[in-house]
Structure 1
């Protein structure tokens, strides 16, 4: 069947559906007019019968493929398309200009956001590296929570313990008193650390000579050119 035959069938179906709807609409209009003519309080026995007859009539439900509905929907879509086309044609230049401006602004904004994202990513990467380096440094370095005075007192306690229990005992002759030798060593070290940092070589005579050799071997002291004095090494000069 060609297109003209299908169109003819569609037209006949459309005419038939329109006639059916006109008939049902006419029947409904006449019945409603008859009901309006009767007064509600007339008390007529025919009124219930009339309503009963009215309710017995089947309701009209158009088919889903109703050609009238399809035609109306097609006409509505065609009218909407024509209106949109007219609007675009009448405002084509202005609309395109506005859209172009919006597009340029959006592209510029996207470029700015991309640059900002790159900067933030670079900064985040740098901060993460710095944080990892700080964490590694903190892990390698013991945590210091005490004050300088407390740390200094702890170091003096360690020094006194080292001299009294180890150095003096190891360097003490069999017939000497380790505690007395430890006191002499502590006095010499205290004078070197807290005073001028220089003592005479005679302070390292006797059992204390072993302490001098120990300090010299550890490069903690140095002697003068004439060998008369011993100076505590100043490590701050090396930094």
Structure 2
């Protein structure tokens, strides 16, 4: 049987893998599914249509799967989906989605989510992200793989934070943050390329060179966005290793609705 503390309140309809662990005074609702190897700390509340994968570590007092903080929410059976091997620290709050969007809040794998982080309805968080204490995502936010969000940062609804970005401490994200960039402040400003992060992830010199060139085209040469995109399209000819990085950047820029931080 699952390792369920005798003081935990677990609904009989909840699906808890026999290799999961539920701590003292935790409350688990009827539509919750928890995978093998996941540990739920003391006093956590997991509710709603929430699915949690394997080998996650959820620390005490987290609230996962509560109804979205959206006045339009009418009790629809929306979801929260959490992948594998995530660390979710104390007092985090993740809400389910809304019928007005995709109906699901989604968090990927291998994320490091520190205390008091809030992830609102319909957010999509990728893999290997880091969110420091009190980072707050409003509804419908998208966070790409390997992004880092500094503590006390607020992200406005429907903003997108690209892959491999670094958002500095106590920033106000009111524009989309293109992949590979370092940003901070209020108003938000681009400070350069996330060289430390890229090197830690073993990006080659050629890939980094192409990413630095994309930064120059976007921020240093006075080009319009369309002119910068056209110039970026030529980079794979001289930097073939970076073709996927250029494609990632171009797709992000082409799909921006809010506009990018510039």
Report the TM-score when normalising by structure 1: 0.25
Of Structure 1 and Structure 2, the greater helix share is in 1
Of Structure 1 and Structure 2, the greater strand share is in 2
Q: Answer 1 or 2: higher relative contact order, Cα 8 Å, separation at least 6.
A: 1
Report the TM-score when normalising by structure 2: 0.24
Larger Rg: 1
